[in-house]
Amino acid sequence: MSLTITPLSPALGAQISGVDISRDITVEERDAIEQALLQHQVLFFRDQPINPQQQARFAARFGDLHIHPIYPNVPETPQVLILDTAVTDVRDNAVWHTDVTFLPTPALGAVLSAKQLPAYGGDTLWASGIAAYEALSAPLREMLDGLTATHDFTKSFPLERFGTTPEDLARWEATRRNNPPLSHPVVRTHPVSGRKALFVNEGFTTRINELSELESEALLKLLFAHATRPEFSIRWRWQENDVAFWDNRVTQHFAVDDYRPNRRVMHRATILGDAPF
Ligand SMILES: O=C(O)CCC(=O)C(=O)O
Ligand SMILES: [Fe+2]
């Protein structure tokens, strides 16, 4: 095995080479990738042409896969969802978010493969909740440690954009019914590394439960701005057949919406996670 890990910034991100993820990777490769993910939080692989079955097989080496309630998927491989600007309005990914925090057990991570890209534009940014948490002052960290926040599916999937056809409306209604707003800790402890990370995101977090509405609004505004500062984030300029693999437990991301009407197609396999604590 000749896996090479090249860190890309102090806060997070590393490029991985020397592994072909279209193959059924070895246990050693899997473990090395998992270690790299724990340390660097988002990994990038270049020149990895993978089909949906290979993508699902790779992702499934790290946990069971999630089938998304709203996004269309690859019919033969429903564990792989399709983000195609010709089919789906993906504008709501142009907000800093951690995936599916409206679930009691948000995703552990996701594997995203670039299929078709605009000539330029359409970059994606990730930010480290660990770096953001560690940079806060001790009194603020101490206060946040005891707080919980509400996460709401409808904040990033508003009815106006996801209920346009009767079919979509029925799916949206069912998803809302099955996913009422819920609470997660504001500071999450990584279940494997034990590191603490800020775990609120603009995409889904609506309220810090223990504070007044005014306090909650002001503090969330501060935390959203702090968490996504340039020094805690990284911006990836995609090439076709790039694959990104992020730890969704301690990061958030933002898909820049600067390329329409050009088409952009991405495939994502999402790995199920556990309840934040
Ligand atoms: O399209 C992208 O680059 C990322 C979209 C996104 O938010 C996701 O796949 O979770
Ligand atoms: Fe996302």
Q: What is the mean pLDDT of residues 2-31?
A: 97
Instruction: List, for residues 116-138, the tens digit of each pLDDT value.
Output: 999 999 999 999 999 999 999 99
Extract the tokens encoding 115: 């299929």
Residue 98 CA: distances (Å) to CA of 215, 232, 247, 252, 266: 23, 15, 10, 4, 17
CA of 2 to the centre of ligand 2 (A): 30
CA of 269 to the centre of ligand 2 (A): 11
Mean pLDDT of the chain: 96
Residue 90 pLDDT: 86
Residue 54 pLDDT: 98
Share of the chain above pLDDT 90, in %: 89
Single out the residue of 246, 43, 222, 211 nearest to residue 132, CA to CA. Answer: 222
- The Cβ of residue 60 has, within 10 Å, a number of other Cβ atoms equal to 14
Ligand nearest to the CA of 111: 1
Q: What gap in Å lies between CA 111 and CA 255, rounded to an integer?
A: 14
Ligand nearest to the CA of 94: 1
Q: What gap in Å lies between CA 62 and CA 251, rounded to an integer?
A: 17
Sequence-ordered strand ranges (E) for 92-223:
109-116, 124-128, 148-151, 182-185, 187-189, 196-198, 205-208
Extract the tokens encoding 273: 């996670």
Quickly tell me which residue has 């195609």 as its tokens. 84
Instruction: List, for residues 166-210, the tens digit of each pLDDT value.
Output: 988 898 899 899 999 999 999 999 999 999 999 999 999 999 999
Its sign, for the CA torsion 250, 1, 79, 64, is negative
67-71, 184-188, 254-258: which has the minimum mean pLDDT? 67-71
pLDDT higher than 70, residue 1: no
- CB-CB contact of 246 with 255 (8 Å): no
Please give the number of the atom of ligand 1 that sits closest to the Cα of 124. Answer: 3
